Amino acid sequence: MGYAQDLVNAGYYGYQGWGDAEAQADFNATGGAGKGGSSSGGGSSGSSWDEFAKLFGLSAASPIEVPPIQVKTYEEYEALALEELRPYYERILKEEGGDVEKAKGRLEEDYQRGMRIQRENWETAKKNYGPQMTAGESPMQYYNRTKAEYGTMPTEGISQFSNLNRRGVASSGIATTEGNKLRTSQEARQEAIDLSLKRYNERAGINRARSLEDIASNWARRQFMLAEEKKTNAAILGRQKRSDEISLQEIERKNLLRKAINNQYR
């Protein structure tokens, strides 16, 4: 059986009727791609395995040994890919981790600033109101104690005493009743100032704690997502590396078979 017929038997139907020398020259010139034909079997194109099988059939009489394809497992390629991706994801974690710490720092700064401003406002309000009437203190005593003091409370105390004095009841039971009313009003306003500061501190503390929790949970979620992304990309990259290695070895094996065929029919 001649070379041309061997090619036809291997599926290269385009060589039907060719001479051996012409078929060999054309086969070599096409790098082993060969000629297709009009037969129902189709041409020489097909899967990589089909091409290898045809070449293997043509080189059956050759003593050449074709090495088997040897590649690592999917897991080994994935491990290599993970190591390759590690510096990239470490850099992302470092950069974003720095942003997280910066966000925490700014949150703490805002909290402390807000507390300081609120405390200053509280102290200013206290100062603007001035000293209040004490329990058991008469309007006259309050007037004498605070007439040189600054603030809303001393001012209204002076006004009240002046009114009582003008009416001639500065030392009467009426003065005591009016004085008690003033003291009660002053205590309510002082309590409102203190309560406002206390509530602000509580709200600010709760908001600070919740914001820190949100930052921590968001950062944990982001770390998990990056880890999952790295594993997914490593799996894709590992499969690609394995596929590339198989393709490379297939090319090398086909080249060995082509050399064997050329030497066999030369």
Tally the C-alpha atoms within 13 A of residue 191's C-alpha that lie toward its C-beta.
Answer: 6
User: What value does the mean pLDDT of the chain take?
Assistant: 84
* Domain co-membership, 23 together with 60: yes
Each residue's pLDDT tens digit, 112-144: 999 999 999 999 999 999 999 999 999 999 999
Q: Is pLDDT of 38 > 70?
A: no
* Domain co-membership, 192 together with 261: no
Q: Is pLDDT of 40 > 50?
A: no
Which of 66-70, 117-121, 194-198, 236-240 is least confident? 66-70
* Domain co-membership, 83 together with 57: no
* pTM for the model: 0.60
Look at residue 10 in the predicted model and tell me its pLDDT.
Answer: 63
* Domain co-membership, 223 together with 239: yes
Q: Is pLDDT of 43 > 60?
A: no
* Domain co-membership, 256 together with 244: no
Look at residue 130 in the predicted model and tell me its pLDDT.
Answer: 92
* Domain co-membership, 12 together with 89: no
Q: Is pLDDT of 41 > 80?
A: no
Look at residue 157 in the predicted model and tell me its pLDDT.
Answer: 93
Q: Please give the structure tokens belonging to residue 253.
A: 């094996």
Q: Is pLDDT of 46 > 50?
A: no
Q: Which domain holds residue 174?
A: 74-248
* Domain co-membership, 95 together with 192: yes
User: What angle do helix axes 173-265 and 74-129 make, rounded to 10 degrees?
Assistant: 160
* Domain co-membership, 65 together with 94: no
> pLDDT-based confidence at 253, cuts 50/70/90?
confident
Look at residue 164 in the predicted model and tell me its pLDDT.
Answer: 92
Name the residue among 144, 246, 248, 122 with its Cα closest to residue 190.
122
* Domain co-membership, 60 together with 88: no
Look at residue 45 in the predicted model and tell me its pLDDT.
Answer: 40
Each residue's pLDDT tens digit, 168-184: 898 899 999 999 999 99
User: What angle do helix axes 173-265 and 152-167 make, rounded to 10 degrees?
Assistant: 160
Q: Is pLDDT of 39 > 80?
A: no
* Domain co-membership, 231 together with 124: yes
Look at residue 23 in the predicted model and tell me its pLDDT.
Answer: 72
> Considering its fold, how many domains does the chain have in total?
2
Residue 146 CA to residue 127 CA, distance in Å, equals 13
Per cent of the chain over pLDDT 70 is 78
* Domain co-membership, 101 together with 201: yes
* Domain co-membership, 38 together with 146: no
Q: Is pLDDT of 82 > 90?
A: yes
- Cβ neighbours for 164, distance < 8 A, ≥ 6 positions apart: 139, 170, 174, 175, 178
Burial readout 114-148 (b: 16 or more C-beta within 10 A, e: otherwise): bbeebeeebeebbeebbbbbeeebbbeebbeebee
